[in-house]
Amino acid sequence: MRDRFAAIPFLAEGRGDEGCDCWGLVWLWYRDVLRIALPRYDGVAVDDPRGIDRVIRIAEADWTPVDTPRDHDVVVMRAVGGSRADSHLGIVVETRKVMHTTERLGGQVQRLSSPLIRSRAPRFFRHHALV
């Protein structure tokens, strides 16, 4: 199942198998794997880290912060380059790995311990339906 999602190409504001952005990947995973409906958050530009950060802060009401991630938890990360804005998301898969998509590389799975992930100060959230 994971391979299907990791193979989806990046598409700004995408919400389907033809392409998705980082929230689109989370949205699609929750819809198809967990059968949990999440808001689409259409209209948030992928090149607006502050706008993404605002939406993440609003959406946190539906999620519980957790210290020890498990499969299906959402990973919230800062933007690349030292920004303090939370502007990137992924999904914990296979315990201790995160699946996410980026404009440059598309879908990928990386260890949570990788320097690229650790340097982005990841925080973990569990949807209230999974607590």
Statement: residue 39 has pLDDT above 70: yes
Q: What is the pTM of this model?
A: 0.90
Asked if 112 and 96 count as a contact pair (C-beta separation under 8 A), the reply is yes
- Model pLDDT, residue 83: 67
- Model pLDDT, residue 82: 63
- Tell me the average pLDDT of the chain: 89
Average pLDDT of span 56-64: 83
Q: Considering only 48-52, 79-83, 93-97, 124-128, which range has the smallest mean pLDDT?
A: 79-83
CATH architecture assigned to 2-130? Alpha-Beta Complex (3.90)
- Model pLDDT, residue 114: 94
Residue spans of the domains in the chain: they are 2-130
Residues in contact with 69: Cβ distance below 8 Å, sequence separation at least 6, in sequence order: 75, 92, 96, 112, 124
